[in-house]
Structure 1
């Protein structure tokens, strides 16, 4: 009998152990990482420390593990994962280990996943939980719900977004308490409240549902669809999933320098754009120190950008990474992208990637249009200024079905007041109107099929009239004595971008971009007519993969550009067709503290010949807070001498082209090298974040089409460079916070831009050597109803500029050799009443500084000395505007 009992007892013990051994615990935890190497390191470490299975996703930052609780625990696994360099919700990796990870593995460490404020291997605080709320009413509601669910005490803090609970585990549980809190309207780390309950909360209680816990936002709230057990500790990142790459930008920062990028790239989001009037792309940089914006002439009122001391034509201006403002669109293209259509801007100084083409010399500015982002959003914007410039924008982004969404973008503007503040008889700005419409259709199933596609179509019609006040557009110029300017532009675009990520290989993808553009301009400047048509087709195929591991990435591909130009100037006709097939390759090597991007492309231009374009960018992280970048690269472009210099057409200068054996207007293409270096330093001041960036760039032209205004006040000469031409640019910028919600940006720029003209080496005109910049931005905390104020002001100091030689004119029509220095001040006050309504009031050029007599011999516009192109300062005095944003 005893023997039988021993056998039964042993069998029972073995059976129990077997059953327990086969009972695996499943757990999902948050672990930070960035790439395929991170995935391998995290999963391998988990399995080495007892996990039967481990699956980590870079997209969700979640690790799913199965383990035998007798042999290991979540705590042990996460502790070892932190020890190899990956922050998680229980432990923080040592700084020394994190810094030794390969560069591609350097994930963003803020905000933290930790469920405690400790930074050294803390244990989980079982009675502290994240709960969203906004005010005192939220505190009362959360604490009451917790007690109704069995908590003996509950204390919720609005600043940390944490509730501290005390309860008897025999009577209730944290899960039951948090479910009750969600039922009354408050999202937490285990449960998401329903939209119906959330929307019925008082206005003061409508907290932000898109930010991680512990992060305050002054952004307008947008509802999120309810999802069970939604995790709110993920990064506060905005994902821009273009075909070519994924960009990550913290949404708290209006302008952020991309720390991971080897080149000097600034990401500008909608929060920055709202600081200014921002009616179109040219006004989107008023609070940015890198780009200089100025009027190009005193008649048509157009604005031009300058970067690194050189004209806009040397900067690649793209939309959705496709060619945009170039060719015949050069003069007025900045007016074609309404500010309220812009979802974000990426601004790169110096040589950019070879995958985007060969035309970038001083940098690239890429504009991303508004797209659907988790929630249906529609908005109306209305704008009017003191000169009766009016605008209306309607934008709507909507989900159509699983994986499908659309954007509808509508814009209309008109200028009706014939302003002549300086009483010279000429309008200070053109009158006219624009109608602009775009439709975007997007498909994305990257997680399953790996396929994504983006389709867009855009139509624009713009009509402008300028000149003397009494000019009648309905009467031909030849039949009236008053000087007039008429500019009519029609533009149509259709494009598609399609990409595929290979299954099981998140590092390998292929993308194909295609775009067709039709642009027509009919214009006259007094008795001088200029008409042009341009048909452009662009195609770019990019394949991306790795050599061995993600430390060695590469991109390879082929592009094709077709341009057909048909221009009429006076009685001359200029036709040409440019076909440019090209091949490119780019290699990225990521080391422990450095990133090297080296690329080259060869383009077979039918008129400019074969062109080889190499580019290199190198980033070295001296420390996590000190980053050094250097770059070097070549670019080339073909000059469109008429379209790019229309701002000189409002004069009686006679145009002359001095040919040099080239195939484009008899001129050779422009070729230049750009070299640059920058240092980025982050530090704390008054215990607040602060960043200083200092950079120096030099552009050396090997071939250039010079625009010579000095040979004679009566001539405009175009010819190829014979000698040296260069631009030196130095800029230092300091961004810091003076106090809570009070941000300051200070910058100084120095330019040395010179070229050898026929008359000798001279400074390039209309380029100030010294510029100063200051931007101050302050916002109040939200009140109980969710309202707050924004205050923003920008001061620009512009030094003296060289003016083209007019010494051969009669004395009354001579200009000084250098202009005076001046300052402009822009400011804006905005009031957000709740998540749906925003009103803003602003002023431009509040110093009211204007150039005296910007039009030479304005009383005799058909005489020899008439010239409206000698502009170095603002033409319009102080201007006030009012705007309204309504979100639906």
Structure 2
């Protein structure tokens, strides 16, 4: 019996001790700078060694949560964290310690994190606000809304009709929290809920709305759009001067600054530019082809004078050598090559990732000059519907409706709808031909997203897209309803039907945030029926793509790897004139990629092998290397191989509006009798950041060379009446040099200057020549200025872009009669675009702009335009705009 009593006594003593100990633990949260999983591990380990009972670091929120007992000083812990290399709200790491961190751990130090360095202050404080409600359901709804808006804790009292908030002003604001509370149906001292939202509350929650509230007096204001990475300065007003009194805190803090709309990633080993939707608002940006007007890396070219399409060029080579993806799935390729850029409306785009040079092997084998990936709108904390209306002064109009809304805490959905029409007869050069086609497009998409990564580790994304595009071009007065051989006017008709469905599902292993499994699948159906005068071209493509990726580490996060398998099926059925071309491409493949992160360098080495049923087995290695001499001086090197099968008809439609005969010089290959295209790409770039005018400035210089091992030559020089395809015999290369300088002379004024030099040559059958329609010299100037926001959130924005294009070699037309001959080289020219926009508040934006304000246009865009059925007619000799200045207006409304 004594033994049992002793055991019970001991148990009670131990439980009491544990309870007392637990009661003496305190929990606190601090801002600490870090970048990656290595930072997280270092910060948490250091904190625990310094005496913390528990330490949890969040990379996303840049916060360290500590549990300590009464004998442990959080000051001592934060000091040790700083000594380990991580700036925090109380202590700053030495420059030497910071620079000794691995390259992936170099966070941006521009934003200073304390009022007085190395002194205590409390950035978190409790605030009380009047909020209307009735019952326990109201309480749960109000507190959840507050936490969803960023509050660390929220306590609502029905008796006081008041909510007590605890939040970090660096992450959110009382305005944001109270607006969120109003959005779910509860009037408060700053915002009133809409009548519909209030009426939809349960009957028990319908409170009295007649009682007025008092005025709010927020003590912390964080200006919208500011991020730590791109903040220029902090103004501290009425800051606490007595550092011995820890109960006092910052009275007022205004953080000002702007996030760059185009940012070069400092973490990636490759040269990757992240373009967000703010950049896209600087120009008309009706579709993806116009999304790069303010970007110096991509050249937008005019493909012909009849169909009005635009094409992209990168590193001195045509668009077909760049991998164009949507949601990291193959998008603009195959039969969509000519018109696919028109199928992604600008208002649908959330962001664009542009990679110059060799990209990752996990995304396929077709990338040679780089990759452009488009992400669609699919992220929103609250329901948001936007309407965009656009019209230019030459008969083009379009409308976009986007709606992004969370269904619950795991599911969200996006509706995207686009329609456009061109109705006017535009002929600015008086040649009797439309400068751009007339027609309509209907484009609709639905996205469904599931995200439960934090709990179950599972996430999934589903999408479906339907497009119907019809366009008519040619001579003014041409009637598409009448067969071409029944009328004398020359016409072009293009009808496209496109359908896509895709899914991406990922799983993050529990307790292993570095280990994941992802599976992507997509089906695409594309059909085009078209005619160019008396020539017809039709094509049908069905594509199925699947990609399985496993990602993990070897020992620690310094050694990461990806491995997986892919499958691509392309079924083509094309008819040109009376000749039918059918083929099925079946390509299973496997790949692996290893990432090594060292003290100042990152190495990404990958390779894939693909078993192409028509092109044979293809091995594709790629390498990217980044070395940080300092956090401001970064060197990148890259090398890689890519291969693709040429779709000679779909990719050359700009030359169909002519009377050129097509000739294919076959050499025994299995695709139109031709071999696949294979090329190596090598690149080097240097990124340098420095301060000028007291603000951040960046200069980037890069050089890339592309060497073709095999290439399908598109020869326009053998005869002006002939278009000849054949495989390369000899050399073909493209040298690209670009330097770009981004800087901010004064607040809200951004300047981007760039110069590009291209040397693109190939060995044609009759000797080495410069590739036509490629200017050796290009200049670029982009200026952007915005005014400060007024009390209602309104401001003005002014954007202008100047493109200087040097002379280009034109195809040989010397055998034509003199009046139908073109010069050997084109003239140099300049294009000026500008836009003025007015944000009246966060909901309404209006804009007015002009394109090609210099009104330079190609006067001889169509050779022998008076005789479109004659031997010398050619609408594909376009090197410049064919339209003079064009003005447009638009309106954006967010609900």
Q: Which residue of 1 aligns with 2:120?
A: 124
TM-aligned CA deviation for residue 66 of structure 1: 2.4
Counterparts of residues 181-192 of structure 1 (less than 5 Å): 187=174
Query: Alpha-carbon deviations, 1:229-277, whole Å to 9, x = none?
Result: xx9x99x9xxxxxxxxxxxxx9711000000000000000011000000
Q: Which residue of 2 aligns with 1:737?
A: 744
Alpha carbons 2:655, 2:876 under 8 Å: kept? yes
Counterparts of residues 646-725 of structure 1 (less than 5 Å): 646-725=653-732
Q: Does 1:440 align with 2:447?
A: yes
TM-aligned CA deviation for residue 102 of structure 1: 2.4
Counterparts of residues 468-617 of structure 1 (less than 5 Å): 468-617=475-624
The whole-number CA distance in structure 2 between the counterparts of 1:189 and 1:661 is 66
Distance 1:834 1:18, change over 3 A: closer
- Counterpart of 1:772 (choices 779, 782, 807) is 779
Secondary structure of 2:407's aligned partner:
strand
Q: Which residue of 2 aligns with 1:418?
A: 425
Alpha carbons 1:436, 1:460 under 8 Å: kept? yes
Distance 1:215 1:624, change over 3 A: closer
Secondary structure of 1:38's aligned partner:
helix
Secondary structure of 1:51's aligned partner:
coil
TM-aligned CA deviation for residue 93 of structure 1: 1.9
Q: Which residue of 2 aligns with 1:85?
A: 85
TM-aligned CA deviation for residue 74 of structure 1: 1.1
Q: Greater CA deviation, 481-490 or 44-53?
A: 44-53
Q: Does 1:24 align with 2:24?
A: yes
Alpha carbons 1:186, 1:193 under 8 Å: kept? no
Q: Greater CA deviation, 83-92 or 877-886?
A: 83-92
Secondary structure of 1:199's aligned partner:
coil
Query: Alpha-carbon deviations, 1:817-868, whole Å to 9, x = none?
Result: 0000000100000001011100000000000000012000001000000000
Alpha carbons 2:780, 2:802 under 8 Å: kept? yes
Distance 1:731 1:181, change over 3 A: closer
Query: Alpha-carbon deviations, 1:24-66, whole Å to 9, x = none?
Result: 3222323333333333322222222222233333344333332
TM-aligned CA deviation for residue 372 of structure 1: 2.3
- Counterpart of 1:758 (choices 760, 765, 775) is 765
Secondary structure of 2:816's aligned partner:
coil
Alpha carbons 1:826, 1:844 under 8 Å: kept? yes
The whole-number CA distance in structure 1 between the counterparts of 2:834 and 2:77 is 54
The whole-number CA distance in structure 1 between the counterparts of 2:111 and 2:614 is 53
TM-aligned CA deviation for residue 341 of structure 1: 0.1
Q: Does 1:75 align with 2:75?
A: yes
Alpha carbons 2:26, 2:70 under 8 Å: kept? no
Query: Alpha-carbon deviations, 1:161-207, whole Å to 9, x = none?
Result: xxxxxxxxxxxxxx99988999xx96299999944433359999997
Q: Which residue of 2 aligns with 1:377?
A: 384
Q: Which residue of 2 aligns with 1:334?
A: 341
Q: Which residue of 2 aligns with 1:635?
A: 642
The whole-number CA distance in structure 2 between the counterparts of 1:255 and 1:790 is 16
Counterparts of residues 800-819 of structure 1 (less than 5 Å): 800-819=807-826
Q: Which residue of 1 aligns with 2:138?
A: none
The whole-number CA distance in structure 2 between the counterparts of 1:465 and 1:280 is 19
TM-aligned CA deviation for residue 377 of structure 1: 1.1
Distance 1:541 1:110, change over 3 A: farther
TM-score w.r.t. structure 1 length? Answer: 0.86
Secondary structure of 2:76's aligned partner:
helix
Q: Does 1:48 align with 2:49?
A: yes
- Counterpart of 2:793 (choices 781, 786, 789) is 786
The whole-number CA distance in structure 2 between the counterparts of 1:266 and 1:739 is 23
What is the total number of aligned residue pairs between the two structures? 800
The whole-number CA distance in structure 2 between the counterparts of 1:215 and 1:703 is 44
Secondary structure of 2:289's aligned partner:
helix
Query: Alpha-carbon deviations, 1:465-517, whole Å to 9, x = none?
Result: 00000111110001111100000000000000000000000000000000000
Q: Which residue of 2 aligns with 1:38?
A: 39
Alpha carbons 1:187, 1:193 under 8 Å: kept? no
Distance 1:404 1:761, change over 3 A: same
Secondary structure of 2:77's aligned partner:
helix
Alpha carbons 2:124, 2:166 under 8 Å: kept? no
Q: Does 1:619 align with 2:606?
A: no
Q: Which residue of 2 aligns with 1:324?
A: 331
The whole-number CA distance in structure 1 between the counterparts of 2:418 and 2:778 is 34
The whole-number CA distance in structure 1 between the counterparts of 2:258 and 2:569 is 38
CA RMSD of aligned residues (A): 3.0
Distance 1:131 1:326, change over 3 A: farther
TM-aligned CA deviation for residue 401 of structure 1: 1.2
- Counterpart of 1:403 (choices 387, 401, 410) is 410
Q: Which residue of 1 aligns with 2:140?
A: none
Q: Which residue of 1 aligns with 2:352?
A: 345
Secondary structure of 1:125's aligned partner:
coil
Q: Which residue of 2 aligns with 1:62?
A: 63
Alpha carbons 2:86, 2:98 under 8 Å: kept? yes
Distance 1:371 1:179, change over 3 A: closer
Alpha carbons 1:130, 1:189 under 8 Å: kept? no
TM-aligned CA deviation for residue 378 of structure 1: 0.7
TM-aligned CA deviation for residue 21 of structure 1: 5.7
Distance 1:281 1:874, change over 3 A: same
TM-aligned CA deviation for residue 452 of structure 1: 0.2
Q: Does 1:645 align with 2:652?
A: yes
Secondary structure of 2:872's aligned partner:
coil
Distance 1:571 1:797, change over 3 A: same
The whole-number CA distance in structure 2 between the counterparts of 1:487 and 1:707 is 23
The whole-number CA distance in structure 2 between the counterparts of 1:687 and 1:801 is 41
Q: Which residue of 2 aligns with 1:270?
A: 277
Alpha carbons 2:125, 2:167 under 8 Å: kept? no
**Any gaps of 5 or more consecutive residues in structure 2?**
1-13, 131-161, 193-213, 233-249
Distance 1:479 1:202, change over 3 A: farther
TM-aligned CA deviation for residue 388 of structure 1: 1.1
The whole-number CA distance in structure 1 between the counterparts of 2:227 and 2:492 is 57
Q: Which residue of 2 aligns with 1:467?
A: 474
- Counterpart of 1:199 (choices 186, 191, 201) is 191
Secondary structure of 2:96's aligned partner:
helix
TM-aligned CA deviation for residue 90 of structure 1: 1.8
Query: Alpha-carbon deviations, 1:5-34, whole Å to 9, x = none?
Result: xxxxxxxxx999999766432223233333
Alpha carbons 2:124, 2:168 under 8 Å: kept? no
